[in-house]
Chains A and B, each alone.
Chain A
Amino acid sequence: MASYSIWIALVLGILAYLGIVLNLGPGLWLQEALVVGVITGLIVGNVHLGLVIGGTLTLMSLGMWTYGGATMPDFMTGAILGTAIGALGGGETAGLAVAIPASILMTQLDVLGRAVTTVFIHAADKYAERGDTRGVTWMHLLGQLPWGLTRMIPVFIAVWLGAGPIQHLIGVLPQWFMHGMHVTGVMLPALGFALLLNQMPLKKHWAFLLIGYILYAYLNLPIIGVALAALAGAALYLKLRGSEANAES
């Protein structure tokens, strides 16, 4: 039965740890499903699978953002697990069958990690009271541990102990289930688009949405062409509106 060595599991666990901690620090790169999926693909020797899994999860996450510290599905961990397990066999379908449920289940651990860090702020209060800057420093720097470990441990265990069993499970799944997973993968980007549209002023600018659709669906313009047309459209619209405002004043 296909499985991974403990070293691969460890490397992927560390990748998950780094991903979330970098997300807490300077910004978004490693925790993006697309980026982390490809890195996982490189590690397990299937870059193409990493692209597909990462790309699909990224589309699902389009309109999602951790507003005010809200929890969202953990697509980073999903991408690592999906790519790693899918690469053992079963490819895209098997990968998504792992990635999507894993992303959703990880929200529970995200909440746990964010709650546990409360310990550090209470300890920091005590150190600050005594003017102990060293103690305060440690409390802050150790704050990353619950965040990192809630990603690292599940990834390590799932890849090392679970890759074989999970893979085996996918192997015995019936055809209709695998087909269902395939359709799910095709359909789920709709969620990302819907969330995105929900945040946009649809009533005011619906015409631009329609133009974009017409350009691609009827005129078969490549997507770069649609983007260039969008650039021109936006510039034109604002210019016209600007001159209108000038004429009125």
Chain B
Amino acid sequence: MPNLDQSLDVQNTSSEVTKQDVRKAMWRHLITLQWSWNYERMQALGYMWSMIPIIKKVYPTKEEQIHAMQRHLSFYNTNPQIGSPPIFGATVALEAQKMGEAVDSLKIGLMGPFAGIGDTIQGVLIRPMVAVFAASLALAGSIVGPIMMFVLGLIWCALMIPLFYLGYRRGVGLVDEVAGGGLIATVTEWATIFGMMVVGGFVPSIMSGLTTPLKFQKTVEVAGKMTTKTIALQDTLDKILPSLFPILVVGLAFWMIRKLKLSPIWVLLTLVVVAFLTGAIGLF
């Protein structure tokens, strides 16, 4: 990390950068960051385009502008919703102070950790929890499911604005604050425990359709008469371990991912084959 003056007052910039410029840069970033995403430099062009309103104000000469644009065309990639708004906010504040060189190290220093934090919060914790709720409601025929999902999307979008201003106001002190507070760790653990328990209930509930139609017939003597009794295998299994098959299949998929290190696509294809075979022999 660059050693920067922590007391830097980023709100009262001496340059001609106005509130409107900052807002313009923010909206460009929020709406279009990844439109030109590519394998080579990923979010770089989107980041640079968002910074143009600031660059134009801060650097009067064309040479300086060119230099600034080229600086921002270097590789950049992080979590776009939670990670990038505060990074972009902080770098807008610095760029407005003509501290361009510090911006580069700040971007590179933050994009990795913020990608990790953002992807974990969104991809591992919050989205799956909401998605599993929403999907189970939808499978039960309720329109509330997709509405929940849609609202989650709106919340993400709305959150990006305060996250941007958080970065903008805090400027450079941002990293220490996020990493040092321990808040992220607490929230993560809290959500993890909640998630574990909900998933434990969701496996048998969502996959409750996975039952066997197999029946056994047994001829028994009741009071001197021979009668045929039919025993459904599923009923017997439910008395021992409810939702045995869902647990077995999840266990199989988990084993393939964790121990065999297979990619999701291969696990998916394997499950398709297993489903066809077990379906064909009448197990399901």
Chain A contacts to B: CB under 8 angstroms? 21, 24-30, 32, 34-35, 37-38, 47-48, 51-52, 54-56, 58-65, 67-69, 72-73, 100, 104, 107, 114-115, 117-118, 120-121, 124-125, 128-131, 133, 136-137, 139-144, 147, 176, 179-180, 182-184, 186-201, 205-206, 208-218, 221, 223, 226-227, 229-231, 233-235, 237-238
Top 10 nearest A-B pairs by Cβ distance?
A: A212-B200, A143-B36, A29-B153, A65-B123, A194-B253, A55-B138, A230-B197, A226-B201, A117-B38, A216-B201
A residues within 8 A CB of B136? 55, 223
CB within 8 Å: A-B pair count: 361
- Starting from the known contacts A32-B146, A64-B264, A136-B69, 11 additional A-B residue pairs (CB-CB under 8 Å) come to A32-B150, A65-B119, A67-B123, A131-B65, A143-B36, A191-B264, A209-B200, A211-B200, A212-B200, A213-B243, A218-B242
The answer, among B123, B250, B284, for a CB contact under 8 Å with A183, is: B284
Looking at the assembled complex, report how far the CB atom of B179 sits from the nearest CB atom of chain A, in whole angstroms. Answer: 20
Q: Contacts A183-B279, A191-B267 given; indicate if A223 touches B205 (C-beta within 8 A).
A: yes
Given the known A-B contacts A24-B37, A121-B44, are A230 and B149 also in contact in the complex, defined by CB atoms under 8 Å?
Answer: no
Q: A47-B143, A183-B279 are in contact. Are A209 and B35 (CB under 8 A)?
A: no
- List the B side residues contacting A21 at CB < 8 Å: 35
One of B9-17, B125-133, B215-223, B228-236 contacting the partner: B125-133
| Among A38, A137, A230: residue with most chain B CB under 10 A | A230
Residue of A nearest to B27 (CB): A26
Q: A38-B143, A194-B257 are in contact. Are A217 and B249 (CB under 8 A)?
A: no
Distance of A210 Cα from B41 Cα, bound (Å)? 44
**B-side contacts of A28, CB under 8 Å:** 81, 122, 127, 152-153, 156
Q: How far is the CA of A176 from the CA of B74 in the complex (A)?
A: 54
A184-B35 in contact given A26-B30, A139-B45 (Cβ < 8 Å): no
Residue numbers of B with Cβ under 8 A of A are 30-42, 44-46, 48-49, 52, 56, 62-63, 65-66, 69-70, 73, 77, 80-81, 115, 119, 122-124, 127-128, 131-139, 141-143, 145-146, 149-150, 152-154, 156-157, 160, 186, 189-207, 209-210, 242-243, 246-247, 249-250, 252-254, 256-258, 264-265, 267-268, 271-272, 274-276, 278-280, 284
Q: Chain B contacts of A147 at CB under 8 A?
A: 35, 37
Q: Of B145, B190, B201, which is within 8 A of A213 by CB?
A: B201
**In the complex, A230 Cα to B40 Cα: how many Å?**
43
Structural contact, A27 and B153, CB atoms closer than 8 A: yes
**CA of A21 to CA of B119 in the docked complex: distance in angstroms?**
19
The 25 sampled A-B contact pairs (Cβ below 8 Å) are: A29-B154, A34-B146, A55-B135, A58-B149, A68-B77, A73-B268, A121-B38, A121-B40, A124-B36, A133-B52, A139-B45, A140-B45, A140-B48, A183-B278, A184-B275, A211-B197, A216-B202, A217-B204, A217-B242, A217-B243, A226-B198, A227-B201, A230-B196, A233-B194, A238-B189
CB contacts (< 8 Å) of B198 on chain A: these are 212, 223, 226-227, 230
Nearest Cβ in chain B — how far from A249, in angstroms? 15
A26 to B164, CA, bound (A): 13
**B186 to A238, Cβ gap below 8 A?**
yes
